[in-house]
Amino acid sequence: MVVKKTISLKDMNTPEDAKRVSETLHDVWGIRNVEIQLDKGEATISYDEKAASIQDFHQAIVDSGFEVRNEEGPIKQ
């Protein structure tokens, strides 16, 4: 089943940052689509939940040098 989620990021400020996040997310198995909203600091992803979990995408973002914000606060490496 394909699901759509929005991930909020800290310190994604430039087009180069957005490109790096997009490329990072595209490398995760199961990804279908990535939309980056640089002005909001968000990435909206569609992915196959049988192939990946949201935690896989969070970890990929953290590994690429960014912080993920969620309801509980930032996720750090």
Q: Spell out the alpha helix ranges (H) of 11-53.
A: 15-26
List the domains of the chain with CATH numbers.
2-69 (3.30.70.100)
Q: Return the half-sphere exposure (C-beta side, CA atoms, 13 A cut-off) of residue 56.
A: 16
Residue-level pLDDT at 69: 87
* Mean of pLDDT values over 66-70: 87
Residue-level pLDDT at 70: 67
Residue 45, amino acid? I
Residue 66, token pair as written in the block = 């960014």
pLDDT digits (tens, 9 = 90+) for 23-58: 999 999 999 999 999 999 999 999 999 999 999 999
Residue 59, token pair as written in the block = 């970890």
Find tokens 């993920």 and name the residue.
68
Angle at 22 between CA 17 and CA 24, to 5 degrees: 95
